[in-house]
């Protein structure tokens, strides 16, 4: 094995560790991560064990679905997740929180209305 082959193997091994770290970052099993990326669990295992190089198509899918910094994935340089994605996630969480509060508020309003209606009907029933 020449030096470039050894370097490629080390790089692939380091990239495999970063790929695994990415999956752990999202707290997903190999099966869940495979579903997210549209591949098999075996493919995820190959990437994480360093037994398979990540295709250009998979790199694009990873970038689009996880916003991983591909420079970090390949070389270890930079942040794992692009800042834009962190901002998008925060915005999404805030929006979900606001929507959830609106749903809860509407449910309480409906509960009060329903209770008033039940009391009205019970009152009419008692009069008869």
- pLDDT tens digits, 2-30: 444 444 455 788 999 999 999 999 999 99
Name, in order, each residue with C-beta under 8 angstroms of 36's C-beta and a sequence gap of 6 or more.
26, 28, 65, 66
* Residue pLDDT, tens place only, 47-95: 999 998 899 999 999 998 998 999 999 999 988 988 765 666 667 777 7
Name, in order, each residue with C-beta under 8 angstroms of 20's C-beta and a sequence gap of 6 or more.
48
What are 68's strand-pairing partners? 81
Q: Tokens for 31?
A: 């099966």
* Main-chain phi, psi angles of 78, to 5 degrees: 90, -175
| pLDDT the model gives residue 3 | 45
In whole angstroms, what is the distance from residue 74 CA to residue 16 CA? 9
In whole angstroms, what is the distance from residue 16 CA to residue 54 CA? 9
pTM of the model: 0.59
């Amino acid at each position: 094995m020449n030096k470039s082959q050894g370097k490629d193997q080390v790089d692939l091994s380091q990239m495999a560790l970063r790929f695994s770290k990415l999956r752990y970052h999202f707290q997903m099993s190999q099966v869940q991560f495979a579903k997210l990326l549209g591949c098999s669990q075996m493919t995820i295992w190959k990437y994480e064990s360093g037994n398979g190089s990540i295709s250009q198509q998979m790199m694009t899918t990873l970038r689009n679905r996880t916003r991983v910094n591909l420079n970090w994935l390949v070389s270890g340089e930079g942040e794992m997740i692009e800042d834009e994605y962190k901002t998008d996630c925060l915005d999404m969480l805030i929006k979900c929180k606001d929507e959830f509060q609106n749903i809860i508020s509407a449910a309480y309003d409906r509960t009060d209305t329903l209770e008033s209606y039940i009391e009205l009907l019970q009152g009419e029933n008692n009069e008869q």
